Amino acid sequence: MTDMTNTPATRSTPTLVMGPVLFNWAPERLSDFYARIADEADVDRVHVGEVVCSKREPFFADRLPEAIERLTRAGKTVVVDALALPTLKRERQSVAALAGLDGVEIEINDMTPLALLPAGRRFAVSPLVNVYDEGTLGWFAARGAWSVALPYELPTASIERLAAEGARLGIETQLHVFGRVPLAISGRCYHARVHGLAKDSCQFVCNQDPDGLEVDTLDGEGFLAVNGVQTLSDACTAAGDEIATLLGFGVGAFRLSPQSCDMVAVAAIYRALLAGSFDGAEARARLGAVGLALPLGVPMMSGSWPATAGAASPR
């Protein structure tokens, strides 16, 4: 399953990554999604696995091997994500089982798996893990990290320094460039609460909102989105002109976070943008013109790295 052609030591062109599906999509929808990504999407790497809520895991568990096999057969590198914020015994056991698998690339979404990984085992680090400085990046590299996705909130100057340090260490630095931004994971299920349900008897109501449930301010303005126990941005990141700057810094991989739009088309736009076929303004125009970046009619934003004050345009 491991494809060494996509590791930073051997790959000279930017890597396009399809991140894990964060939302509670039906098993049939997930199967169709991974089939399309395998057969049609021009991406190098695909993440699978449940990140947000362990209660969702069993619904797709029996289909996951088939999805991985199809993606691998299509030439994609597959990375399996570990659950973020495991607290229950069964959740810790699930993370331990994943950490013990041979021949599978894994991504950690918090520090829990590190205590379970065998010495020398490779792993990737997700943007949910706080890697804010060169010392932390070096610590992960020494521990076995081959790719580190930088946190969503980093400004431009920090990205530049960390990308340079990653190049010196020989590990990949990665950045989220499309999709709603995950902000926090809690022990409390917001989706259940808004429907008057308890977390333990949630009835999986988060499946009613395939891109997250919108949260407005008292003035009716878009503010956040919730996805079960997860909080996300209201706006959808759709980086455009910033890509050239990030490439100049040496960022090696660019992550698309799946939304309920045509992610095959999104991937094609970003592949062309990374190849220099058109500029960032054209890319965002193409995304916006066909509604690709706006699966819920939410505004697009560039991300936090431009380091300018302000907010996304209202809906």
Residue 31, domain CATH: 3.20.20.70
Residue 271 falls within a domain, yes or no? yes
Instruction: Count other Cβ atoms within 10 Å, centred on residue 289.
Output: 9
Q: Is residue 63 part of a domain?
A: yes
Residue position matching structure tokens 């058109």: 278
Q: How many domains does the chain have?
A: 1
Looking at per-residue pLDDT, the higher value among 209 and 2 belongs to 209
| Residue 227 included in any domain | no
Task: Give CA separation, 244 vs 60, 99, 247, in Å.
Answer: 37, 36, 5
Q: Which residue has the higher pLDDT, 292 or 287?
A: 287
Q: Are strands 77-81 and 105-108 parallel, antiparallel or unpaired?
A: parallel
Tell me, yes or no, whether 204 lies in a domain: no
pLDDT over threshold 90, residue 2? no
Q: Which of 245, 255, 258, 239 minimizes the C-alpha distance to 301? A: 239
**Residue 214 in domain:** no
Place of tokens 């919108």: 214
Give the pLDDT confidence score for residue 88 in this predicted structure.
87
- Beta strands 172-185 and 213-216 are unpaired
Mean pLDDT on 69-83: 97
Domain hosting 141: range is 4-180+236-301
pLDDT for residue 101 is more than 80: no
pTM of the model: 0.90
In a domain, 197, yes or no: no
Mutual orientation of helices 27-40 and 64-73 as an angle, nearest 10°? 10
pLDDT at 298 over 70: no
> Residue 298 has what DSSP assignment?
P
Q: Is residue 216 part of a domain?
A: no
The answer as to whether 90 is a domain residue is yes
